[in-house]
């Protein structure tokens, strides 16, 4: 016998449909489960069958819709930058930049513009880890009052190639090898280094890619760059060249290579989790936006071409002018709907910002729009909430797959003049019209000169110097960073099975710095080959200390925004732990309590301190410094625990500060900790010590080239 439905509808004598109020129950009201058509679902646990053990009926539209959506809920991942995370926030300009640009976003001091920022790795797929050695994407979508402006850059200010026609080759070379489908999210393989060794223009970028810049400690502690030279155009039509820089207010930090590898195993989502938790705890990530603005005369005075995306303008040559700040204060409500569906495009600019003839930028202007159609399946991807401008959108573009707007009126073309007719209906107004005064106008050319010439597939001679800036970068680094870069090259090239590729790469490195080539060759047990041919003489440019992470202008001097691990066990002194936790919080950092069991530890006063992490699953690579707050009882217990010994050993090996109680000394001894200025007592000196990495310790712990 069929049971009565909770919802009944009767037709009244007059033919009008009357819907009865649903019966009261635990799942009635506004939160009732429905299909995508809004039809309420009575049973979401069972398919519709002919009898309890009979066949499933084709008419079960609830099943069909649910399975249909599931079958299609994955969209093609990005070819590059597939692994990413993002956040909402705002940009706030410091002062009017009217002298440089008419862009509305830069006119009124202290005005806030909403932004959506996505960070990403480049080479790995969506399911790869967060911490490989890789360039990081740094893409900012400004929802301005004049439309969306996308500043789509990286955490490296230069790029591998000069011309966009080589981009497919670069990506194919860096991705998994075509015949075997590995390695994933790694450049340490034959095809990448074969390509790079044949492309001298990549040498400068390789110096950055092998540096500590590509193993950042956090997304919050890395720089961002617009990469290309853009233009700013003011209301009078005057153009100024500009390069964009994002500088993290929490300082520039990296990991050690061994640390990055171990983080990947301990927490593949380390950067994603870090960003989420920082915002969730109110420690909002912040960057300062700066610009290098210059005119044509300055550009002509430089020993390289400003349109070459493999070059930088050192800050010592042209200081970066701070113009505003960006704060990320809200994590997406839904990862797929926002982070995965957001579509950036360098062609999205606003009046007052314009392009240059950088050949890599020109290719990107085409490529991004094309790939968004492929990924999101429709020309209407701009209507998705995360992509939709927050200002009025008015045009005559209609229809297309997944059209989400409902345009009104007869006309879908422009110009139209139906409003002038006597029979025109109110809904048939002429609609929007172009406006030469406020609309976007492309900057013509400097001094009215025409850009013309023969049709050529040719690089300009001004793009020919491939080694001088690579030399500038390497020689500007602090000594530990130079050693890390050489080690990275040894590691990567040791994974290359083709000896002639290694030899060819060493030949290029000789042009960068003979001592670097010698260090790498010795690490590979190879002879140093002659330098490869350079089209132009290699210049010794003035060094740029601003390029350093270690001992550089953005080296942090506090623990603000960081995570400090406190290792406790039964018997840990309650007063010591309480005081330490307060000191860490007062310094703007987060204390992470780690114990042998997740339930916590029984302190000296009998209280139970709940743990944030369980020792075996929360290694010290996940924090920035460690405090070993153990009693004699707790130390004795942990001396027989390999995870505890490794916890301390890794903290010391990764050059972090270690604070400890006197009773914990036997554990430090067993872990091989040697006294230095980074190994301190658990008093007020610990918080100060925790702000640093102790690079002088490194030569005692590992062999570097």
Report d(CA 15, CA 10) in Å as an integer. 9
- DSSP state, residue 501: H
Residue 265 contacts by C-beta under 8 Å, 6 or more apart in sequence? none
Q: Answer whether 185's CB lies under 8 Å from 125's CB.
A: yes
Which position among 18, 20, 46, 154 bears the catalytic label? 154
Q: How many CB atoms lie within 10 A of CB 344?
A: 20
Q: Answer whether 418's CB lies under 8 Å from 411's CB.
A: yes
Report d(CA 396, CA 415) in Å as an integer. 10
Partners of 149 in the beta sheet? 142
Partners of 565 in the beta sheet? 592, 626
Report d(CA 478, CA 697) in Å as an integer. 15
The DSSP string of 639-696 is TT-HHHHHHHHHHHHTT--EEE-GGGHHHHHHTT----TTEEESSHHHHHHTT---GG
Q: Which stretches of 383-531 are DSSP H helices?
A: 468-476, 479-494, 499-512, 514-524
Residue 266 contacts by C-beta under 8 Å, 6 or more apart in sequence? 617, 618, 619, 621, 622
Report d(CA 493, CA 187) in Å as an integer. 10
Q: What is the dihedral of CA 522, 528, 531, 537, to 10 degrees?
A: 50
| 81 is annotated as an active-site residue | yes
Strand order in the sheet with 658-660: 613-614, 590-595, 563-567, 625-628, 658-660, 679-681
Which position among 81, 88, 654, 660 bears the catalytic label? 81
| 154 is annotated as an active-site residue | yes
**Whole-Å CA distances, 497 to 268, 501, 516:** 28, 8, 21
Q: HSE on the CB side for 350, CA within 13 Å?
A: 20
Q: Provide the annotated active-site residues.
A: 81, 154
């Amino acid at each position: 016998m069929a049971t009565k439905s909770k919802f009944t509808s009767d037709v009244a004598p007059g033919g009008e449909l009357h819907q009865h109020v649903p019966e009261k129950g635990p799942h009635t009201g506004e939160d009732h489960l429905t299909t995508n058509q809004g039809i309420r679902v009575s049973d979401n646990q069972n398919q519709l069958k002919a009898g309890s053990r009979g066949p499933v009926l084709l008419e079960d539209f609830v099943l069909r819709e649910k399975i249909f959506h599931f079958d299609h809920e994955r969209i093609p991942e990005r070819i590059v930058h597939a692994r990413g995370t993002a956040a909402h926030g705002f940009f706030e300009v410091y002062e009017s930049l009217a002298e440089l640009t008419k862009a509305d976003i830069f006119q009124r001091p202290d005005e806030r513009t909403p932004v959506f920022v996505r960070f990403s790795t480049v080479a790995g797929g969506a399911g790869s880890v967060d911490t490989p050695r890789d360039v990081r994407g740094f893409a900012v979508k400004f929802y301005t009052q004049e439309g969306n402006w996308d500043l789509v850059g990286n955490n490296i200010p230069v790029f591998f190639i000069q011309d966009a026609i080589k981009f497919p080759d670069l990506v194919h070379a860096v991705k998994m090898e075509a015949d075997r489908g590995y390695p994933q999210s790694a450049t340490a393989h034959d095809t990448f280094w074969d390509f790079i060794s044949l492309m001298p223009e990549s040498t400068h970028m390789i110096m950055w890619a092998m540096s500590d810049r590509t193993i950042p400690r956090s997304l919050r502690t890395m720089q961002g760059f617009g990469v290309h030279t853009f233009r700013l155009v003011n209301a009078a039509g005057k153009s100024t060249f500009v390069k964009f820089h994002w500088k993290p207010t929490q300082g520039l930090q990296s990991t050690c290579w061994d640390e990055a590898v171990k983080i990947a195993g301990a927490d593949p989502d380390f950067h994603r989790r870090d960003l989420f938790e920082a915002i969730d705890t109110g420690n909002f990530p912040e960057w300062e936006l700066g610009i290098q603005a210059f005119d044509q005369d300055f550009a002509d005075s430089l020993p390289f071409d400003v349109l070459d995306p493999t070059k930088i303008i050192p800050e010592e040559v042209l200081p970066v002018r701070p113009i505003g700040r960006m704060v990320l204060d809200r994590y997406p409500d839904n990862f797929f709907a926002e982070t995965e569906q957001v579509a950036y495009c360098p062609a999205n600019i606003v009046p007052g910002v314009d392009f240059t003839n950088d050949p890599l930028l020109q290719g990107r202007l085409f490529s991004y729009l094309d790939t968004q159609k492929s990924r999101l399946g429709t020309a209407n991807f701009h209507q998705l909430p995360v992509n939709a401008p927050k200002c009025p959108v008015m045009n005559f573009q209609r229809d297309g797959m997944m059209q989400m707007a409902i345009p009104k009126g007869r006309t879908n073309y422009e110009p139209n003049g139906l409003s002038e007719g006597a029979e025109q209906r109110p809904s048939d107004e002429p609609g929007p019209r172009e406006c030469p005064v406020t609309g976007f106008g492309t900057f013509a050319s400097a001094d009215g000169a025409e850009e013309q010439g023969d049709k050529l597939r040719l690089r300009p001679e001004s793009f020919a110097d491939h080694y001088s800036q690579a030399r500038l970068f390497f020689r500007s680094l602090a000594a530990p960073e130079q050693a890390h870069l050489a080690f990275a090259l040894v590691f990567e090239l040791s994974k290359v099975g083709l000896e002639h590729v290694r030899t060819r790469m060493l030949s290029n490195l000789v042009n960068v710095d003979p001592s670097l080539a010698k260090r790498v060759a010795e690490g590979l047990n190879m002879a140093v080959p002659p330098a490869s041919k350079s089209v132009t003489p290699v210049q010794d440019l003035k060094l740029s200390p601003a390029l350093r992470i270690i001992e550089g202008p953005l080296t942090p001097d506090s623990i603000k925004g960081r995570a400090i691990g406190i290792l406790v066990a039964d018997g840990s002194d309650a007063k010591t732990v309480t005081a330490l936790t307060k000191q860490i919080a007062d310094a703007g950092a987060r204390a992470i309590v780690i114990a042998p069991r997740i339930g916590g530890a029984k302190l000296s006063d009998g209280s139970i301190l709940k743990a944030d992490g369980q020792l075996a699953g929360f290694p010290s690579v996940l924090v920035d410094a460690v405090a070993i707050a153990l009693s004699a009882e707790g130390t004795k217990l942990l001396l027989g625990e390999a995870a505890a010994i490794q916890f301390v050993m890794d903290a010391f090996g990764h050059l972090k500060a270690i604070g400890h109680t006197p009773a914990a000394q036997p554990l430090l001894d067993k872990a091989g900790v040697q006294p230095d200025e980074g190994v301190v007592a658990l008093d007020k000196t610990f918080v100060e010590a925790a702000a640093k990495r102790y690079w002088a310790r490194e030569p005692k712990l590992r062999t570097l080239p």
